[in-house]
Amino acid sequence: MSAESPLTDKTIVLVGLSGVGKSSVGRRLAAVLDLPFHDSDAEVEVAAGRSIPEIFAELGEEAFRDGERRVIARLLAEPPHVLATGGGAVMNPETRQLIKEKALSVWLKTDVAVLARRIARKTGARPLLDGKDPLEVLTRQAQDRYGAYGEADIVVETGDISHQEAVDLILAALEARAAEAGR
């Protein structure tokens, strides 16, 4: 894709629950679109000089969310790229508004049972899930967050498909949106 493509004229922000593949899919999408890729969680870790579990343990969730908000605002001020956000990032109204103003948001939506199965295999990286039943936590998060995720410009039902198939669905949705806009 060229830099002049209507698919690359704004930052594309991926939102959704933990385990949906925002980072993995985001890297692949960025490569296809020839755009830089940023992961807000990784950027928060760099800015804080510590891992997310350390931030939660030492400073608490509120400090993490404040840093996350500031990092996302900084990233949204940069030239177009693909941005994978943390699962709770859009719960901050200021962050949601910035995304609406400066980016095109894509909600990667997958059934919570599929996500719970994926997350159960990984421990230590998700402080809100560690030591808890992933299905219970994700179900509660879905209830709390789906309203905010639903404000996304595009919703892509990814189900239990490969990352490349998810990228293809996102590209098709982006192309359809560009066509509707008369570009």
The pLDDT of residue 3 is 44
Rounded Cα–Cα distance for residues 115 and 121 (Å): 10
Q: What digits encode the pLDDT tens for the residues 44-77?
A: 999 999 998 899 889 988 899 999 999 999 999 9
* CATH number of 55's domain: 3.40.50.300
The pLDDT of residue 160 is 85
Q: Which residues touch 181 (CB under 8 Å, ≥6 apart)?
A: 6
Number of domains comprising the chain: 1
The pLDDT of residue 77 is 97
Q: Which residue range(s) make up the domain with 133?
A: 6-173
The pLDDT of residue 174 is 94
CB atoms within 10 A of CB 167: 23
Mean pLDDT per 10-residue interval, the chain, length 183 residues: 64 95 96 97 93 89 92 97 95 94 96 85 57 84 95 93 94 92 69
Residue 58 forms part of a structural domain: yes
CB atoms within 10 A of CB 133: 11
The pLDDT of residue 150 is 95
The pLDDT of residue 148 is 96
Residue 179 forms part of a structural domain: no
pTM above 0.85, yes or no: yes
